[in-house]
């Protein structure tokens, strides 16, 4: 029972990456709206930032699954 509560609390860490993904996408679209010719230079850092942000959310999921099944 306690491991389920801990797993739920571990998943609260996914809130930050969710907000970060939303802000990152918003700012990238804003930058492209202001300067459409810069899409080539914005694309690679944008994808890299999204991938790293998403990895944090996946780490939270893995920790919560470990707490559920191994705890």
Model confidence pLDDT, tens digit, residues 16-55: 888 988 998 899 899 989 999 988 888 888 889 888 888 9
Predicted confidence at residue 49, as pLDDT, reads 87
Domain range 2-70, CATH architecture:
Up-down Bundle (1.20)
- How many angstroms from the chain centroid is the CA of residue 5? 22
How far apart (Å, rounded) are the C-alpha atoms in residues 19 and 53?
10
Predicted confidence at residue 39, as pLDDT, reads 87
pTM over 0.85: no
């Amino acid at each position: 029972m306690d491991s389920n509560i801990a797993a739920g609390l571990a998943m609260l860490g996914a809130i930050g990456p969710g907000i970060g993904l939303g802000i990152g996408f918003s700012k990238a679209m804003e930058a492209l709206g202001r300067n459409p010719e810069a899409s080539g230079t914005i694309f690679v850092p944008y994808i890299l930032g999204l991938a790293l942000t998403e990895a944090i959310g996946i780490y939270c999921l893995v920790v919560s699954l470990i707490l559920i099944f191994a705890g």
